[in-house]
Amino acid sequence: MGVLRLQLPTDPRWVNIVEKNIEEILTDHAWCEQKAATNAITIITNNSEHQDLVKDLLALAKEEIDHFEQVHNLIIKRGLKLGRERKDDYVNELYQYMKRSGNGSRVSGLVERLLFSAMIEARSCERFKVLSENIQDEELAVFYRELMESEAGHYTTFITYARKYGEGIDVEKRWREWLEFEESIISNYGKNETIHG
């Protein structure tokens, strides 16, 4: 699917599920943004020697927290409530794949974490596109269109740094393997009113 190279598109009928529970999708989305910020900080913490990566991921983390605030503001504006943090089975499956894919070296650990992050951003970007093009709520359609562009930028950041710091690793080959793994699990999702569900 274009630049993201995802193998399996989201069925647009997923939006019909989403529209039945806007509070749930917004709550889940808010926590996705918070986790994305935390993930960026974790990468910085473990790879602080890479000055350019630290600088760019700090900016990315700030943007994710800003998105969290934007979603929270939407929840308040609509008289809804931010529910408790949600478990994300899709992200957990990707995380388990990442954990068993590294070879134990710091370089491999960094590349796997960056590709894990890129994968989540790619699918989130694709889901936001599907929402922006199919949701009846005009305010949310515009909102998700804007966020889609931001997520695409985050995906590019993670892929770029995987290539830059993946010395001795065939990053393109690994990314193809990540795409194949994601294709093998994504068909189990798209059935709930959550960003990845």
Where along the chain do its domains lie?
Answer: 14-187
* Interatomic CA distance for residues 184 and 30, integer angstroms: 26
Q: Which CATH class is domain 14-187?
A: mainly alpha
The pLDDT assigned to 86 comes to: 87
For the stretch 133-160, pLDDT in tens is 999 999 999 999 999 988 889 999 999 9
Contacts of 160 (CB under 8 A, 6+ apart): none
Structure token digits, residue 56: 């760019």
Three-state SS letters, 136-194: CCHHHHHHHHHHHHHHHHHHHHHHHHHHHHCCCCCHHHHHHHHHHHHHHHHCCCCCCCC
The pLDDT assigned to 128 comes to: 97
The pLDDT assigned to 102 comes to: 84
The number of residues making up the chain comes to 197
Dihedral of the CA atoms 74, 16, 116, 103 (nearest 10)?
150
* Interatomic CA distance for residues 70 and 64, integer angstroms: 10
- Residues of the chain with pLDDT below 70 are 1-2
158 exposure class (CB count in 10 Å sphere: 0-12, 13-18, 19+): buried
> What H or E segment, with its residue span, contains residue 109?
helix 106-134
